[in-house]
Amino acid sequence: MGMIGGSLEAFIGAVHRRGSQLDGEIELVCGAFSSSAEKSKATGAALYLNPSRVYGSYEEMILKEKALPEGERMDFVSIVTPNHLHFPTAKMALENGFHVVCDKPATLNLAEAKELKKVIDASGLIFALTHNYTGYPMIKEAKHLVDSGELGEIRKVIVEYPQGWLIDLVEATGQKQAAWRTDPARCGAAGAVGDIGTHAENLAKYITGLHIDELCADLTIFVDGRQLDDDGNILIHYNNGARGVLHCSQICNGEENDLNIRVYGSKAGIVWHQMDPNTLIIKSRDGGSRTIRTNVGNLSAQAQAHTRQPAGHPEGYVETFANIYRNFAFALRARWEGKDQDPLYDFPGIDEGINGMAFIENVVRSSRDNTNKWTKFEI
């Protein structure tokens, strides 16, 4: 694996490195960690990389690695840059024969995402998008419960993602995470909705399989001087008639990272909180409430396949990245061995990326439209 972005001061680069290393299936062999060659070099050194494979730019990395003999060069790139660089880096990597794992969102806008899909299709290579939260065992179980009809017909979805870390103008303090996430040029058309709202939407879609038919959005910038929304509230009509409420915020003071979802069907409802990820509740009016826990009792093959520890040994955030990287590695190996990819080891790809970008654009469009109540979801 070669990494693009992810210098020492970035948060998400370390997450990807840890996720990819956890299972011993993937080795980091090279990187272009920063647009500053010096920072890139320092990062490579801290990671014990061969200095000759620490590059000053992603272009250099892709071309020089391509020039190495097969078996010596990196097999794929991991892209962990700010959003605006996802498209050019992924495109160049794919066009030079390297598979790609890319941090979400896929690209800076929907047009790029669609274009990226064409590049991927043309390359015939594998592309994974790290919508990591669907990698939790209990989310696999939740999807399994819906798919197997345990919830009946889905009627209501409430998905939330409150955070509080942008309660004031953090971006003005030079904090790097905040700076690019609130800058339209590097982040795209939406702030909170793009950064975390897309995770919420992706989670709901993954579990329920429902598509958004139309939506009504209300985005707000609360903090003076901020350029992108820091709060978003959205009503949703799903394609099957179900109703949805999705809200996300980065000004919910005191909230950490409280992605959570409730799905109610004609037969039962489920509840899950990301900050208590190994617990899934299923309940119904007449049947009471059952607590499903990672690796307790008889779980689905899907949940088991994404579990590493015995019951009661907490699995967390890093394992969600590890699940994507491991499944991606399984897909690569299957290809090398001429086998089909095993659907048990799923991971998000460009279709999820396109959907996410479309979600952002439809939400922004709806929010700006104060006359029409409902905005048809268009991709």
Query: What is the 3-state secondary structure of 236-247?
Result: EEECCCCEEEEE
Q: Which amino acid is at 162?
A: P
Q: What is the DSSP string of 130-160?
A: --GGGGSHHHHHHHHHHHTTTT-SEEEEEEE
Closest distance to a second copy from the beta carbon of 64 (Å): 22
Residue 261 forms beta bridges with which residues?
A: 159, 272
Q: Does 274 bind a second copy (CB under 8 A)?
A: yes
Cα separation values, 38 from 49, 96, 230, 363, Å: 14, 25, 34, 40
243-272: contacts with a second copy (CB under 8 A): 243, 245, 247, 249, 251-258, 262, 264-269
| Residue 261 contacts residue 157 (beta carbons within 8 Å) | yes
Q: Which is nearer to a second copy, 227 or 289 (CB)?
A: 289
| Residue 154 contacts residue 288 (beta carbons within 8 Å) | no
Binding to a second copy by CB under 8 A, coded x per residue (else -) over 307-346, reads -xxxxxxxxxxxx---------------------------
Closest distance to a second copy from the beta carbon of 115 (Å): 32
Q: Which is nearer to a second copy, 96 or 284 (CB)?
A: 284
Q: Does 45 bind a second copy (CB under 8 A)?
A: no
Q: Does 33 bind a second copy (CB under 8 A)?
A: no
Binding to a second copy by CB under 8 A, coded x per residue (else -) over 92-121, reads ------------------------------
CA distance 52 to 107: 30
Closest distance to a second copy from the beta carbon of 263 (Å): 10
CA distance 233 to 247: 4
Q: State the maximum Cα–Cα separation within the chain, in Å, rounded to a whole number.
A: 65
Q: Does 51 bind a second copy (CB under 8 A)?
A: no
Q: Does 71 bind a second copy (CB under 8 A)?
A: no
| Residue 144 contacts residue 302 (beta carbons within 8 Å) | yes
Are β-strands 154-162 and 260-265 bridged in parallel, bridged antiparallel, or unpaired? antiparallel
With CB under 8 A, what is the number of residues at the site for a second copy? 89
Cα separation values, 148 from 6, 161, 205, 300, Å: 40, 27, 16, 10
Residue 269 forms beta bridges with which residues?
A: 264, 283
Binding to a second copy by CB under 8 A, coded x per residue (else -) over 181-220, reads -----------------------------------x-x-x
Please give the DSSP secondary-structure letter assigned to residue 233: E
Q: Does 8 bind a second copy (CB under 8 A)?
A: no
Near a second copy by CB under 8 A, which window of 57-65, 85-93, 123-131, 237-245?
237-245
Q: Does 29 bind a second copy (CB under 8 A)?
A: no
Structure tokens at 82: 């700010």
286-305: contacts with a second copy (CB under 8 A): 286-293, 296-298
Closest distance to a second copy from the beta carbon of 249 (Å): 6
112-171: contacts with a second copy (CB under 8 A): 151, 155-156, 158, 160, 162-165, 167-168
358-377: contacts with a second copy (CB under 8 A): 369-374
